[in-house]
Amino acid sequence: MAIVYKARCHLLKRHVAVKVLRPELVEDEEFVARFKRESQAAASLSHPNIVNIYDVGEENGIYYIVMEYVKGKTLKEYIREKGKLDWEEAVRIAIQICSALKHAHKNGIIHRDIKPQNILVSEDGTIKVADFGIARAVTSATVTMAGANVMGSVHYFSPEQARGGHVDAKSDLYSLGIVLYEMVTGTVPFEGDTAVSVALKHIQEKVKPPGELNPDIPKSLQDVIEKAMEKDQNKRYQTAGEMIKDLQRVLKEPNGNFVARSDDESDMPTQVFRPINVEKEQQESRAESKKRPLWRKLLFIAIPLLAILALFFYIGSQIYENHFVMEDVEVPRVVGMNEQDAEKALQERNLIMKVIERKNSSQEEGIILYQEPAEGIKVKPHSTVNVVVSLGPKTIKVPNVVGLSQRDAEIALENVGLKVGLPEYVESDMPTGTVVRQSIEPNTEVVENTEIVLVISKKPEIELIEVQEYVGLKEEIARELIEGIGLRVGKVIKDYNQQYSEGVVYKQNPHAGDTVERGREIDLWVSLGPVPSYPKVLEIDLSQYGEDQEDDGDESIRVTIKRADDGQVVYDAEHALSEGVISIGLEGSGIVRYIIYIDDRQVKEIVVDFTKKEDAD
């Protein structure tokens, strides 16, 4: 759905992860609307086991989410490294995931894509559930679209997701059951050649007990996994809280028999009921009614009183809400506006602007650089919106770094607010790694973040970079990835290709996995889409082939057309000479050579270009 970048926030001086929506998805207005709505919903979550979302926005057609940067690895990578996890470690990880889901479900958000790839293991062992990007707020119409729009990973989604049915919190718990299964066995429960075959197994096949794959798994944990993976939603854990309680108990009673499982058939034996004496029952009923006349009277008095009290309560609550309760207002976007316009826009929404900082930036003086709360967040009227205002570009005097070591020179330039470009290397009499000269002379006044290129003595060892796989990516994305690792885009050859759609890379040189020098050019072959094919009409004048025939008016000749490359006959029929010029339709792709035979005698060879619209000669 997106490309994720590691970035640094200059305001709070910390690293963050920035998820940018892929360019090809921006054109889909419905998808963009869902992206914004769901990411804003996910931003409301705050839990130690959920990756925090700091900001959601759009700038120049680029839709992005700024979120917490977690240093570590995915649970999928962790499982692959270990083969399978110790059951106690797996249970502790599952408890943390369950805790995150409990918080999300409480706030009306279903993840819908729980899988090891979306679970991060930080360096200190904390588990973080990530990518609520395709989650959506629970509504009465929370239904997953089947077919091409199926969300989530097919190996981990629930039977109701496979069927395109109603998805709720219990669907996340099913996926968690599969993740727990994979942690303790090292494999997913269902495999198949296609996504459809795996989906059918989720719906139809019974899972192989994890204890058969790993005998070390205690009985109680196997019961928890099997209950979480029940195909019937009503037989699973109904809440994440229930599952947490059983997982915690697994650690204390590994061989316990405490997991409650629901059965389809009742164990209650058949019972015989005594015959009902209707007359006796009526007598008892009349006797009972004589005993309770006072209660009936009190009931007749209490019901009207309760109705009157309920009416007064309703009217009072309406008056309170209409006259004393003020509706929340949505914070507008003021980033990019000048200070006066921003203050006016906020005042129109009954909000107060507070400047918490003024700092230099590449923006003009007075432009709003940052706002908190972010655009789209709902707050109470007369709330304060904190902003950071630009002081305009800052000018800096370039220091003299000639003669310093490369590292010291870079630190000196960065400390005063300048950027350091890619260095150049030359042979010189100065010590290795020393700055020989700098691209901007010392004491020159420049704008902050101006790039300075350093020329360093003696070229260092060649840095080698592994070429990545770019086949199957859009050209612009491939370019971005190539340049992002220090390589350059070389020749771009565009040609027709039957397998890849227009604008997609179908070949590259060097190939993925090759090791090349930094700065090496990568040649790309980009598809123009399938080769166009236009039917052709071939006209043949029969009169020029009738000179040797007797002119009796009914003379006919045989016309045969074969492909030159494989000899396949594409046309074979007899025609009377009196027909004159005949028209023959040809269909094919690319450029094809044909041979024309008259009465099995080759008379002509033609070349037909089906990529052009004009008829064949």
Q: Give the tens place of pLDDT for each residue, 368-424.
A: 988 888 888 888 888 899 999 998 887 889 999 999 999 999 999 988 889 999 999
| CATH of region 536-609, choose from 3.40.50, 3.30.499, 2.60.40, 2.40.70 | 2.60.40
Question: Which of residues 408 and 302 earns the better pLDDT score?
Answer: 408
For residue 545, give the DSSP letter.
G
For residue 293, give Cα distances in angstroms to 176, 284, 307, 407, 426: 58, 15, 22, 98, 110
pLDDT at 454 (0 to 100): 94
Q: Can you count the helices (H) and strands (E) in the chain? A: 15, 32
| CATH of region 72-252, choose from 3.40.50.720, 1.10.3720.10, 3.40.50.300, 1.10.510.10 | 1.10.510.10
pLDDT at 270 (0 to 100): 43
What's the rounded Cα separation, in Å, for the pair 308 and 314? 10
Confidence at 548, pLDDT banded by 50, 70, 90 = low
What's the rounded Cα separation, in Å, for the pair 552 and 599? 18
Q: Average pLDDT in the 463-485 region?
A: 91
What's the rounded Cα separation, in Å, for the pair 51 and 77? 18
What's the rounded Cα separation, in Å, for the pair 320 and 314? 10
- Domain ranges in the chain with CATH number 1.10.510.10: 72-252
pLDDT at 2 (0 to 100): 78
Which long-range contacts (C-beta less than 8 Å, at least 24 apart) are formed by 37-40?
37/136, 37/137, 38/132, 38/133, 38/134, 38/135, 38/136, 38/137, 39/65, 39/132, 39/133, 40/376, 40/377
Strand order in the sheet with 591-598: 569-576, 556-563, 591-598, 601-609
Question: Which of residues 72 and 287 earns the better pLDDT score?
Answer: 72
**Is beta strand 419-420 parallel, antiparallel or unpaired with respect to 435-438?**
unpaired
Lowest mean pLDDT among 83-92, 538-547, 588-597: 538-547
**Has residue 75 got a pLDDT over 80?**
yes
Q: Average pLDDT in the 260-266 region?
A: 61
Confidence at 140, pLDDT banded by 50, 70, 90 = very low
| Residue 520: CB atoms within 10 Å | 17
Q: Minimal CA–CA distance to 57: which of 15, 111, 109, 20?
A: 20
What's the rounded Cα separation, in Å, for the pair 440 and 436? 13
Lowest mean pLDDT among 140-144, 238-242, 343-347, 526-530: 140-144
pLDDT at 276 (0 to 100): 42
Lowest mean pLDDT among 174-183, 216-225, 470-479, 606-615: 606-615
Confidence at 325, pLDDT banded by 50, 70, 90 = low
pLDDT at 503 (0 to 100): 93
Lowest mean pLDDT among 134-143, 181-190, 465-474: 134-143
Q: Minimal CA–CA distance to 525: which of 569, 551, 490?
A: 490
For residue 545, give Cα distances in angstroms to 538, 541, 548, 563, 584: 16, 8, 8, 21, 17
Q: Average pLDDT in the 90-116 region?
A: 91
Return the amino acid letter for 485.
I
With beta carbons less than 8 A apart as the criterion, state whether 292 and 286 touch: no
Question: Which of residues 33 and 276 earns the better pLDDT score?
Answer: 33
**Has residue 278 got a pLDDT over 50?**
no
pLDDT at 142 (0 to 100): 38
Share of residues in the chain with pLDDT > 90 (%): 40
Question: Which class for 442: exposed (0-12), middle (13-18), buried (19 or more C-beta within 10 A)?
Answer: exposed
**Has residue 280 got a pLDDT over 70?**
no
- Domain ranges in the chain with CATH number 2.60.40: 536-609
Beta-ladder partners of 121: 73, 127
**Has residue 316 got a pLDDT over 80?**
no
Confidence at 308, pLDDT banded by 50, 70, 90 = confident
**Has residue 141 got a pLDDT over 80?**
no
For residue 221, give Cα distances in angstroms to 82, 94, 449: 20, 11, 57
For residue 223, give the DSSP letter.
H
Strand order in the sheet with 368-372: 352-359, 384-390, 368-372
**Has residue 122 got a pLDDT over 60?**
yes
| CA atoms in the 13 A half-sphere facing the CB of 419 | 7
For residue 21, give the DSSP letter.
E
Q: Minimal CA–CA distance to 155: which of 127, 126, 135, 175?
A: 175
Q: Average pLDDT in the 213-221 region?
A: 92
Structure tokens at 192: 């198949």
Instruction: List CB contacts of 417: < 8 A, sequence separation 6 or more.
Output: 394, 396, 448, 449
**Has residue 144 got a pLDDT over 70?**
no
Q: Average pLDDT in the 566-574 region?
A: 91
* Residues forming the active site: 113
pLDDT at 323 (0 to 100): 52
Confidence at 115, pLDDT banded by 50, 70, 90 = very high
**Has residue 145 got a pLDDT over 70?**
no
**Has residue 132 got a pLDDT over 60?**
yes
Confidence at 27, pLDDT banded by 50, 70, 90 = confident
Confidence at 151, pLDDT banded by 50, 70, 90 = very low
pLDDT at 434 (0 to 100): 93
pLDDT at 272 (0 to 100): 44
With beta carbons less than 8 A apart as the criterion, state whether 354 and 342 touch: no
Question: Which of residues 274 and 542 earns the better pLDDT score?
Answer: 542
pLDDT at 220 (0 to 100): 92
Architecture category of domain 464-527 in CATH? 2-Layer Sandwich (3.30)
What phi, psi does 206 have (nearest 5°)?
-85, 140
Confidence at 133, pLDDT banded by 50, 70, 90 = low
Mean pLDDT of the chain: 83
Confidence at 297, pLDDT banded by 50, 70, 90 = low
**Has residue 279 got a pLDDT over 70?**
no
**Has residue 171 got a pLDDT over 80?**
yes
For residue 176, give the DSSP letter.
H
395-457: what fold? Trypsin Inhibitor V; Chain A (3.30.10)
pLDDT at 473 (0 to 100): 93
**Has residue 138 got a pLDDT over 80?**
no
What's the rounded Cα separation, in Å, for the pair 338 and 124? 44
What phi, psi does 177 have (nearest 5°)?
-60, -40
Question: Which of residues 48 and 462 earns the better pLDDT score?
Answer: 48
- Domain ranges in the chain with CATH number 3.30.10.20: 329-390, 395-457, 464-527
φ/ψ bin of 339: left (φ > 0), alpha (ψ from -120 to 50), beta (otherwise): alpha
| CATH of region 329-390, choose from 3.30.10.20, 3.40.50.620, 3.40.50.300, 3.20.20.80 | 3.30.10.20
Question: Which class for 157: exposed (0-12), middle (13-18), buried (19 or more C-beta within 10 A)?
Answer: buried
Question: Which of residues 382 and 183 earns the better pLDDT score?
Answer: 183
Measure CA of the first residue to CA of the last residue in the chain; give whole Å.
Answer: 50
Confidence at 452, pLDDT banded by 50, 70, 90 = very high
Share of residues in the chain with pLDDT > 70 (%): 86
**Has residue 523 got a pLDDT over 60?**
yes
For the whole prediction, is pTM greater than 0.75? Answer: no
